Chain A
Amino acid sequence: GENVEQHPSTLSVQEGDSAVIKCTYSDSASNYFPWYKQELGKRPQLIIDIRSNVGEKKDQRIAVTLNKTAKHFSLHITETQPEDSAVYFCAASTWFVNDMRFGAGTRLTVKP
């Protein structure tokens, strides 16, 4: 089955700096890669996703890149703000099968 690894487990940045979180996956059949943000005590919320037919997707300060050959994908947050502080989870699955697997999570702290 799919195995998703996520690094780093914790990340601390200064407000305004960029943050990068990286994930690798094992199943070459995976073709859908969402990223979720979970604030303390709240539910995970989808912030951006990418399908395997594109290499990069951007939404304002958030971007995700995908390298299918190397089986890794990354989340990039630019101009970080204190409200970006949360736990971020990457995930991988195939489009039609109920097999989504999550990474271990990255606790991002943005210092004002």
Chain B
Amino acid sequence: GAVVSQHPSRVICKSGTSVKIECRSLDFQATTMFWYRQFPKKSLMLMATSNEGSKATYEQGVEKDKFLINHASLTLSTLTVTSAHPEDSSFYICSARETHLASGRPREQFFGPGTRLTVL
């Protein structure tokens, strides 16, 4: 089945530093990837939609200068949390959709394992 990886799985950083999280589709091409944030015991909140070769689409209330997204290839999207603060501590999950539906698979989103960010 389709696999999405995320790196790192866990990161602890000091306030004011920037952190980059990578999301990769390992065995399929993904024109579109999604970045979610999940608070403890809460739902998945869509932050932005990452489109290969173009600018990301951010959800209302998400600061684009704070959460930089780059989708440079059909298998890689990165989320950079700039000047991180303790309130940015959260579980960040990416997901990817297959570009080509000729496989016959439903339009399923495949999730990465998530990255737990702790900002001290």
Interface of A is mostly: strand
- Mark out the residues of chain B between 87 and 120 whose CB falls within 8 Å of any chain A CB in the assembled complex: 93, 97, 106-109, 111-114
Residues on B lying within 8 angstroms of A by beta carbon are 32, 34, 41-44, 46, 49, 57, 93, 97, 106-109, 111-114
Number of residues on chain A facing chain B (CB within 8 A): 22
Q: Do A34 and B113 touch across chains, with their CB atoms under 8 A apart?
A: no
Number of A-B contacts (CB under 8 A): 44
Separation of A98 and B30 alpha carbons in the complex (Å): 12
B42 surroundings in chain A (CB, below 8 A): 104-105
A51 surroundings in chain B (CB, below 8 A): 106
Question: Which of A12-20, A40-48, A65-73, A77-85 forms part of the interface with chain B?
Answer: A40-48
Tell me, yes or no, whether A25 is within 8 Å of chain B by CB.
no
Given known A-B contacts A34-B108, A100-B109, A105-B42, A43 and B114 have beta carbons under 8 A apart: yes
Chain A residue nearest to B113 (CB atoms) is A43
Q: Do B93 and A104 touch across chains, with their CB atoms under 8 A apart?
A: no
Separation of A5 and B1 alpha carbons in the complex (Å): 30
B34 surroundings in chain A (CB, below 8 A): 98, 100
Q: Do A89 and B97 touch across chains, with their CB atoms under 8 A apart?
A: no
Q: How far is the CB of B62 from chain A (nearest CB, A)?
A: 14
